[in-house]
Amino acid sequence: MNFPSNIFNSHSKQDGDFFLGITDILGFKPKKLEIYKKAFLHRSVNRKDKKGNPMNYERLEFLGDSMLGTIISKHLYDQVPEGDEGYLTKMRSKIVSRDHLNELGKDLNLIKFVESRIPKTHFGDNIHGNVFEALVGAIYLDRGYKYCEKFIHARVIVPYVDIEQLEGKVISYKSLIIEWCQKQKKTFNFNIYEDTGNDELKHFAVKLIIGNKVVAKARGTSKKKAEERASKRAFFALQDRIG
C-alpha cells in the first residue's frame, strides 16, 4: 500500500498509527487526517480551533446522520420499487436506528480512537453510534459523496441490510404495544415506581399496566430504556394475542 509522502516523517507516530487504523476501517486512504481526528474528539477535551469554535465530533455527527439517511434512502428506493413512502421510511428507520448504529460502531471498535477526558468505561452505548455517524461526516468532507456511499455500502448495506429480515424486525416494542392497545381500545400506562436496587448508577423502575393488570416490569438507566424493556416483556407475554 502506498501512503502519502512523509506521513511518518511529518507527523508523530501516533498520527501514523491513527492513519493506518482509519485506512483499514475505511478501505481507502484519507486525504485530510485532521478531519478524521475531529470525528473522535469528545467535547470533554474542551478543544477549540483558531477562531475559538468548539472542536468535537458533534457537528460531524449531525452531517454524517444526514448522509447516512440519504444513502440508505437511495438504496431502498432502488431495491424496493414497489415500496411506498411509509414502507420505505419504516425500513430506513430500522437500518439507521440508534441500536443498530451502536452495533456498527462496536463492530468496528471505533471507541479505541476516541479522545476524551472521561474514562471510556463511563460512556453509554450511544457513543459507538455517535462516532460512527461522525466518521461518515468526516468521509463526506474529506472525499465527497461517492466515497461516502462506497463506505456505507461496504460497512452497512452489504453485511447488515437484508430486506426480508428487516421487514420482521421490531424497532420499538413500546410503539408496538401502544399501537396494539389503541386498536384493541385497551387503556395502558407506564408507572414509575421506587427502585430498590443497589446499583452504583441510578436506575428507573417501570410497571406496564394494561387495563387494570400489571403485565410487565423492568428496570433501566433511563425511563425510556425501562419502558422499552417492559414493553418487550409485555410483547412476549401477549404474543399470542398480539399476533
- Domain regions of the chain by residue span: 7-167, 173-242
**167 flagged as catalytic:** no
Give the strands of the sheet with 188-193, arranged side by side.
188-193, 204-210, 213-220
The CATH code that applies to domain 173-242 is: 3.30.160.20
Question: Do the beta carbons of residue 136 and residue 64 sit within 8 Å?
Answer: yes
The band of 197, judged by pLDDT with boundaries at 50, 70 and 90, is low
133 is catalytic: yes
- Residue with the larger pLDDT of the pair 196 and 39: 39
Residue 114 CA from chain centroid, whole number: 16
DSSP single-letter state for residue 11: S
Please check whether residue 102 is in contact with residue 125, taking contact to mean a CB–CB distance below 8 angstroms. yes
Of 17, 34, 65, 125, which one is the catalytic site residue?
Answer: 65
Model confidence at 170: pLDDT above 80:
no
3-state SS, residue 83? coil
Confidence at residue 172, expressed as pLDDT on a 0 to 100 scale: 79
Contact 208, 188 (CB under 8 A): yes
Helix/strand/coil (H/E/C) assignment for every residue in the chain: CCCCCCHHHHCCHHHHHHHHHHHHHHCCCCCCHHHHHHCCECHHHCEECCCCCEECCHHHHHHHHHHHHHHHHHHHHHHCCCCCHHHHHHHHHHHCCHHHHHHHHHHCCHHHHCECCCCHHHCCCHHHHHHHHHHHHHHHHHHCHHHHHHHHHHHHHHHHCCHHHHHCCCCCHHHHHHHHHHHCCCCEEEEEECCCCCCCCCCEEEEEEECCEEEEEEEECCHHHHHHHHHHHHHHHCHHHHC
pLDDT tens for each residue of 38-93: 999 999 999 998 999 999 999 999 999 999 999 999 999 999 999 899 889 988 98
**For residues 18 and 33, what is the distance between their CA atoms, to the nearest angstrom?**
9
Is 90 exceeded by the pLDDT of residue 149?
A: yes
- Chosen CATH of 7-167 out of 3.40.50.150, 2.40.30.170, 1.10.1520.10, 1.10.357.10: 1.10.1520.10
Distance of alpha carbon 21 from alpha carbon 26, whole angstroms = 9
Which phi and psi angles does 188 have, rounded to 5°?
Answer: -145, 155
How far is the C-alpha of 54 from the C-alpha of 35, rounded, in Å?
14
What number of residues does the chain have? 243
**Catalytic, out of 61, 133, 142, 149:** 133
Is residue 95 a contact partner of residue 162, using CB atoms and an 8 Å limit? no
pLDDT confidence bin for 132, thresholds 50/70/90 = very high
**Other beta carbons within 10 Å of 91:** 22
> What is the reported pTM?
0.70
